[in-house]
């Protein structure tokens, strides 16, 4: 167990989530008699969930900053219907439609960000209003009809990497992508190791690093194999490609840029951040705006996949995205969360959904199971924190677990943490 | 019922060799405390000495079994498992942070958790009658229906006592009861405690205000580093403040500050006619036309009672982050600067270490290295991409130079002790390389050893030619540290004294009176 923990950086939460994901996949692979890890099913899984995962990327930033966005499903539908209309009735070519959709998302985001950041209305209220508002607009503008979108646009939601080069029996581009990913992972972790060593920071033992790399690269190569050997005409899906690019970009922003640091700072302690020169209003505005841009993108991908925009697109998406973020380890009180964690959280939900479907479990039971999984994942997290790990939930739980005080002269910290939220 | 000691005074409470451990720390080791019936017993000690922990053991906050040792109360060994059990025995603790609910009325607060009922329904008529009696006993003339948030802290403290009286208290524990009160409210409270003593209620009082303790206590038990050092009888032993301090710190006062030879240069920072309004209340000023200056290499103290407007002045200067700016100019190196935002203030070379470390100064979720660089991210980033290599080495550098006690700079700041947290906050502002650093209560909640180190850091900064402003409620600290001290009273600067002409008395006079000198 200790060795396993070392493999995953000693971070119980990440360890737990990745472990749960792998366990779920193995479980379903066995009980569906191998129908889970087939090229067709994996491609399907990605296609059917990429838009939720894209929302989860935006949502985790919103939640880290200490807000929530309930309007994402409605915003996605709103953008979807306008883009469909623009292409059908106003003569927009597909690429102009995409640009138009992103701009529309930004405008909606600016609207919501304005109320949240500059007027100071809680995001819960603003986006609850937005949820009604943009759903209503979607049905009003689209007259509650479905509006078809052109073939080129459908590529966005249901396209695949094209076949090029010699016939190798695999999809060449997918293979190339997989190999690039493997090379990227290896180079990055070796570089990080060298840097840490040079600085004199703690470096995990070599066998840990190597085993980790072998496992990750193995997983990537296996996924590449699955994607590259699907039925003819299919390969790595375009929505998956968009998702991968977004994960890289946003993971980088959250982890390595000043803006990302500011998001964590504002969510962790807004007052302290402001007194350190962080413009918290600007940060809140950008985070809310970004969420709506991603919601617009998710809406367009969904419209592309379902070949038409409809009045009930995106219903309930906000809940799936929020669940993914919390399963992925974010804290309700803000300041905690990672992009990659949210993706893993989203995949846990997706695999669960997919596996239960393959097993022929009904929608009713699926919902019950998903609800319990969400609760269990967060409960596991809270329990872990209360065992001495630092976190808001951990500090809050301290009141009820008197033996877990950190230090005698810190006896007021619980109160302070609570009052911080006010 | 009660046993007698050798002199024949009845002993109400005896705590025998109490030891309480937290993971990795022994908060109390073999502490003993004996309290006579009908006396006022003070407990003195530095922050973190274990006073509050001892009281939490007594009142059952740390229940029976989580400590070792015996509590003998009213001649019986007690095993309080929680607060309810100790309250049932007549022991009531009033915490430093008041446990009142601001939205509820005085009456509702008094009876919270203890509501008088008739057939299971709250009997408000009875509650009203009793609360009027209780309020009269504590000398508070307020309508029982007034919400708590509408009365001042002094009166809230009285409501707490009324609440305790309602529980038929025999032993009242007050943790820093006057810390947030002004002079007259404090005096009223102390008189009330003396009055209760006359009615046979025993009190244990924890306070840093040694003059108050000298005034009302019969006996004083001193705790240092989790051990009970001695118990003094105020009348018999002729105890005065110096005697108490000697017991608390275990050494004489002279060694509290590192030696320092100031190298003072020219005036480089000047504030003129600084006027700021209250953030909520119209027409009320929190800074009334303040003028002051700071010279290079100078440590300037700001003295004032709590609520005098010291923090308000500092925060309004630091990027207008508090109150409504009305007028005033700031000159730095002879040029006027506009400090309209925190960012502008930082860019202009100001730094501000807040008085409230945990709720305003730190993100408790962060680790040491991210905190250290958080106010100057631009210094470790290229095109707004953070260079984590630089981040680590910067944090490591400050960890070494400030001697922060931590296994690694990747440790979370929430895990550090108060002194080490303060060092991290200081590192954060030192890394912005300010010309003027404003330190608001820089040693609050920090033990003696760490205080000494922080003083050393402050002096080092001054030696580098920076100006340092120190705001502090502890006059000895200001006197020991500053080259010049301004006094503030009700938002106005009432005077300025040089190091050699300042004394506790002269400062106190200026801190409590209207403007005499400009």
pLDDT digits (tens, 9 = 90+) for A77-104: 999 999 999 999 999 999 999 999 999 9
Closest CA to A216 of A237, A236, A187: A187
Measured from the Cβ of residue B508, the count of other Cβ atoms closer than 10 Å reads 15
Contact across the interface for B417 and A407, Cβ inside 8 Å: yes
Check if B11-249 and B266-511 are the same fold.
Answer: yes
Contact across the interface for A268 and B410, Cβ inside 8 Å: no
Rounded-to-integer distance, Cα B491 and Cα A404, Å: 43
Domain ranges of chain B: 11-249, 266-511
List, for residues A107-125, the tens digit of each pLDDT value. Answer: 999 999 999 999 999 999 9
**Rounded mean pLDDT, A387-399:** 40
Q: How far is CA A361 from CA A23, A319, A364, A373, B403, in A?
A: 19, 21, 8, 16, 61
β-strand pairing of B324-332 with B267-277:
antiparallel
Q: How far is CA A354 from CA A43, A343, B308, B387, in A?
A: 12, 16, 65, 41
List, for residues A168-180, the tens digit of each pLDDT value. Answer: 778 888 889 999 9
3-state secondary structure of A379: helix
Contact B182, B305 (CB under 8 A): yes
- Above 60 in pLDDT, residue B516? no
| Backbone φ and ψ of B168, nearest 5° | 40, 65
Contact B93, B131 (CB under 8 A): no
β-strand pairing of B385-386 with B436-440:
unpaired
Q: How far is CA A289 from CA A61, A112, A284, A296, B238, in A?
A: 11, 7, 8, 11, 69
Q: How far is CA B430 from CA A86, B126, B372, in A?
A: 55, 60, 9
Between A283 and A421, whose confidence is greater?
Answer: A283
List, for residues A184-211, the tens digit of each pLDDT value. Answer: 989 988 888 888 787 776 677 788 888 8
3-state secondary structure of A50: helix
Tokens 């900064």 appear where?
B461
Contact across the interface for A408 and B381, Cβ inside 8 Å: no
Chain B residues close to A280, C-beta within 8 Å: none
Contact across the interface for A416 and B61, Cβ inside 8 Å: no
Nearest-Cα distance to chain A for B22, in Å, is 7
Contact B67, B60 (CB under 8 A): no
Rounded-to-integer distance, Cα A9 and Cα A212, Å: 10
Rounded-to-integer distance, Cα B235 and Cα B136, Å: 31
Q: Which CATH architecture has domain B266-511?
A: 3-Layer(aba) Sandwich (3.40)
The whole-chain average pLDDT of chain B stands at 85
Chain A residues close to B417, C-beta within 8 Å: 407, 409-410
Sheet strands (E) in B23-140: 25-36, 40-44, 68-73, 76-78, 91-94, 117-118, 121-122
The whole-chain average pLDDT of chain A stands at 84
Quick one: CA dihedral A200, A206, A212, A217, positive or negative? positive
List, for residues B127-157, the tens digit of each pLDDT value. Answer: 899 999 999 888 888 888 988 888 887 888 8
- Above 80 in pLDDT, residue B2? no
Tokens 């980790």 appear where?
A212
List, for residues A123-134, the tens digit of each pLDDT value. Answer: 999 999 999 999
**Measured distance between the N- and C-terminal CA atoms of chain A, rounded to whole angstroms:** 40
List all residues 6 or more positions away from B143 whose beta carbon is below 8 Å from its beta carbon.
B106
% of chain B with per-residue pLDDT over 90:
25
Rounded-to-integer distance, Cα B310 and Cα B301, Å: 10
β-strand pairing of B68-73 with B76-78:
antiparallel
Indicate the pLDDT class of residue B23, thresholds 50, 70 and 90: low
Residue A244 in tokens? 């991968």
Chain B residues close to A259, C-beta within 8 Å: 384
Measured between CB atoms, does B392 come within 8 Å of chain A?
yes
Contact A350, A45 (CB under 8 A): yes
Rounded-to-integer distance, Cα B233 and Cα B115, Å: 40
Rounded-to-integer distance, Cα B98 and Cα B156, Å: 8
Indicate the pLDDT class of residue B25, thresholds 50, 70 and 90: low
User: What pLDDT sits at residue A6?
Assistant: 53
Q: What is the ipTM metric for this complex?
A: 0.75
Q: What is residue A161's DSSP assignment? A: P
- Above 90 in pLDDT, residue A75? yes
Give DSSP secondary structure letters for B211-244: HHHHHH-SEEEEEETTEEEEEEEHHHHT--HHHH
Residue B415 in tokens? 């895990």
User: What pLDDT sits at residue B255?
Assistant: 58
Domain ranges of chain A: 12-159+256-382, 162-236
Disruptive mutation site among B365, B396, B414 for chain A (greatest number of A CBs within 10 Å): B365
List, for residues B214-265, the tens digit of each pLDDT value. Answer: 888 999 998 887 888 888 888 888 887 777 877 776 655 455 678 788 888 8
Indicate the pLDDT class of residue B514, thresholds 50, 70 and 90: low
Residue A196 in tokens? 């840490």
Contact across the interface for B365 and A408, Cβ inside 8 Å: no
Give the fold, CATH level 3, of B11-249: Rossmann fold (3.40.50)
Name the residue facing B386 among A195, A256, A417 (closest C-beta): A256
Name the residue facing A277 among B346, B354, B388 (closest C-beta): B346
3-state secondary structure of B146: coil
User: What pLDDT sits at residue B15?
Assistant: 92
Sheet strands (E) in B319-378: 324-332, 335-337, 350-353
Contact A226, A218 (CB under 8 A): no
Contact B153, B100 (CB under 8 A): no
Contact B251, B285 (CB under 8 A): no
Nearest-Cα distance to chain A for B95, in Å, is 10
* CATH code for the structural domain at A12-159+256-382: 1.10.3470
Sheet strands (E) in B75-180: 76-78, 91-94, 117-118, 121-122, 171-175
Tokens 């002051």 appear where?
B292
3-state secondary structure of B122: strand
**Rounded mean pLDDT, B63-78:** 88
List, for residues B410-427, the tens digit of each pLDDT value. Answer: 888 887 877 888 899 999
User: What pLDDT sits at residue A85?
Assistant: 94
Please, which residues bridge with residue B198 across strands?
none
Q: How far is CA A60 from CA A129, A322, A421, B23, B49, in A?
A: 20, 8, 19, 34, 42
Indicate the pLDDT class of residue B359, thresholds 50, 70 and 90: confident
Indicate the pLDDT class of residue B175, thresholds 50, 70 and 90: confident
Rounded-to-integer distance, Cα B137 and Cα A236, Å: 80
Chain B residues close to A335, C-beta within 8 Å: 363, 365
Contact B456, B484 (CB under 8 A): no
Torsion of CA A367, A368, A369, A370, to 10 degrees: 50
Length of chain A: 422
Between B105 and B280, whose confidence is greater?
Answer: B105
Name the residue facing B352 among A275, A403, A408 (closest C-beta): A275
Contact across the interface for B25 and A407, Cβ inside 8 Å: yes
Indicate the pLDDT class of residue A385, thresholds 50, 70 and 90: low
Contact B498, B298 (CB under 8 A): no
Task: Give residues 89 to 108 of B whose Cβ lies within 8 Å of A.
Answer: 96-97
Rounded-to-integer distance, Cα B206 and Cα B120, Å: 38
List, for residues A7-62, the tens digit of each pLDDT value. Answer: 554 455 566 778 888 889 999 999 988 888 888 888 888 888 999 999 999 999 99
For A334, nearest residue in chain B (alpha carbons): B365
User: What pLDDT sits at residue A389?
Assistant: 45
Residue B235 zone, left/alpha/beta (φ > 0; ψ -120 to 50; rest) = alpha
- Above 60 in pLDDT, residue A411? no
Beta-carbon-side half-sphere exposure of residue B241 (alpha carbons within 13 Å): 9
Between B139 and A64, whose confidence is greater?
Answer: A64
């Amino acid at each position: 167990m200790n060795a396993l923990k070392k493999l995953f950086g000693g971070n119980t939460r990440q360890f737990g989530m990745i472990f749960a994901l792998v366990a779920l996949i193995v479980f379903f692979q066995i009980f569906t008699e191998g129908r889970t890890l087939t090229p067709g099913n994996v491609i399907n899984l990605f296609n059917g969930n990429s838009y939720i995962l894209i929302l989860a990327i935006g949502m985790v930033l919103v939640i880290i900053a200490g807000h929530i966005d309930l309007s994402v499903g409605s915003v996605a539908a709103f953008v979807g219907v306008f883009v469909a209309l623009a292409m059908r009735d106003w003569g927009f070519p597909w690429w102009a439609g995409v640009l138009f959709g992103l701009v529309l998302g930004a405008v909606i985001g600016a609207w919501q960000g304005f109320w949240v950041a500059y007027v100071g209305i809680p995001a819960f209220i603003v986006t609850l209003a937005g949820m009604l508002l943009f759903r209503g607009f979607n049905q009003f503008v689209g007259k509650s009809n479905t509006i078809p979108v052109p073939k080129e646009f459908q590529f966005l939601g249901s396209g695949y990497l094209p076949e090029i080069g010699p016939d190798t029996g695999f999809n060449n581009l997918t293979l190339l992508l997989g190999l690039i990913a493997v090379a990227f992972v290896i180079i990055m972790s070796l570089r990080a190791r060298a840097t840490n060593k040079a600085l004199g920071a703690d470096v995990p033992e070599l066998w840990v690093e190597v085993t980790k790399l072998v496992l990750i690269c193995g997983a990537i190569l296996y996924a590449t194999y699955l994607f590259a050997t699907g039925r003819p005409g299919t390969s790595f899906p375009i929505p998956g490609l968009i998702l991968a690019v977004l994960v890289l970009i946003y993971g980088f922003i959250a982890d390595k840029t000043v803006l990302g640091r500011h998001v964590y700072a504002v969510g962790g302690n807004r007052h302290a951040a402001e007194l350190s020169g962080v413009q918290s209003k600007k940060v809140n505005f950008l985070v809310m705006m970004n969420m709506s841009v991603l919601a617009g993108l998710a809406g367009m991908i969904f419209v592309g996949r379902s070949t038409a925009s409809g009045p009930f697109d995106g219903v309930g998406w906000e809940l799936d995205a929020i669940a993914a973020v919390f399963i992925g380890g974010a804290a309700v009180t803000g300041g905690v969360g990672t992009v990659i964690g949210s993706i893993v959280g989203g995949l846990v939900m997706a695999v669960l959904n997919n596996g239960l479907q393959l097993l022929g479990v009904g929608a009713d039971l699926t919902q019950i199971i998903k609800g319990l999984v969400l609760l269990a994942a967060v409960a596991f997290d809270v329990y872990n924190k209360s065992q001495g790990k630092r976190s808001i939930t951990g500090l809050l739980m301290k009141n009820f677990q008197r033996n877990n005080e950190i230090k005698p002269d810190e006896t007021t910290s619980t109160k302070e943490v609570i009052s911080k939220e006010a | 019922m009660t046993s007698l000691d050798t002199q024949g005074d009845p002993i109400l409470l005896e705590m025998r060799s109490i030891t309480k451990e937290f993971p990795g720390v022994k908060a109390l080791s073999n502490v003993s405390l004996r309290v006579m019936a009908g006396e006022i017993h003070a407990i003195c000690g530095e922050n973190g000495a274990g006073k509050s922990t001892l009281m939490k053991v007594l009142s059952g906050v740390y229940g029976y079994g989580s400590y070792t040792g015996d509590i003998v109360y009213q001649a019986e060994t007690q095993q309080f498992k929680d607060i309810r059990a100790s309250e049932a025995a007549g022991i009531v603790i009033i915490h430093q942070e008041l446990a009142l609910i601001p939205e509820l009325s005085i009456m509702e607060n008094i009876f919270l958790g203890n509501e008088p009922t008739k057939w299971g329904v709250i009997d408000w008529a009875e509650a009203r009658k009793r609360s009027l009696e209780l309020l009269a006993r504590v000398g508070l003339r307020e309508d029982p229906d007034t919400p708590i948030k509408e009365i001042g802290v002094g009166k809230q403290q009285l409501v707490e006592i009324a609440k305790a009286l309602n529980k038929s208290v025999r032993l009242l524990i007050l943790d820093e009861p006057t810390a947030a009160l002004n002079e007259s409210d404090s005096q009223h409270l102390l008189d009330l405690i003396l009055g209760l003593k006359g009615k046979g209620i025993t009190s244990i009082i924890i306070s840093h205000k040694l003059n108050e303790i000298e005034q009302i206590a019969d006996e004083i038990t001193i705790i240092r580093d989790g051990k009970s050092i001695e118990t003094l009888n105020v009348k018999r032993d002729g105890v005065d403040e110096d005697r108490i301090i000697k017991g608390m710190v275990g050494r004489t006062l002279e060694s509290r500050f590192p030696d320092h030879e100031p190298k003072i240069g020219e005036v480089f920072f000047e504030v003129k006619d600084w006027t700021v309004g209250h953030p909520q209340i119209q027409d009320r000023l929190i800074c009334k036309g303040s003028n002051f200056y700071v010279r290079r290499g100078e440590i300037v103290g700001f003295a004032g009672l709590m609520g005098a407007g010291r923090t308000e002045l500092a925060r309004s200067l630091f990027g207008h982050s508090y109150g409504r700016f009305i007028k005033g100019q700031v000159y730095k190196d002879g040029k006027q600067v506009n400090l309209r935002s925190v960012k502008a203030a930082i860019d202009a070379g100001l730094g501000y270490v807040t008085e409230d470390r945990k709720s305003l100064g730190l993100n408790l979720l962060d680790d040491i290295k991210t905190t250290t660089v958080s106010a100057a991210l631009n210094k470790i980033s290229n095109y707004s991409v953070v260079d984590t290599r630089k981040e680590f080495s910067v944090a490591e550098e400050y960890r070494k130079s400030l001697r922060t006690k931590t296994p690694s700079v990747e440790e979370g700041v929430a895990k550090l002790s108060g002194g080490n947290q303060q060092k991290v906050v200081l590192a954060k502002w030192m890394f912005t390389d300010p010309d003027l650093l404003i330190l608001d209560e820089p040693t609050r909640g920090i033990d003696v050893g760490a205080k000494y180190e922080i003083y050393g850091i402050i002096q080092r900064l001054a030696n580098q030619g920076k100006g340092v402003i120190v705001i502090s409620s502890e006059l000895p600290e200001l006197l020991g540290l500053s080259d010049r001290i301004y006094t503030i009273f009700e938002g106005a600067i009432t005077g300025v004294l040089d190091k050699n002409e300042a004394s506790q008395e002269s400062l106190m006079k200026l801190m409590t009176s209207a403007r005499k000198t400009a």
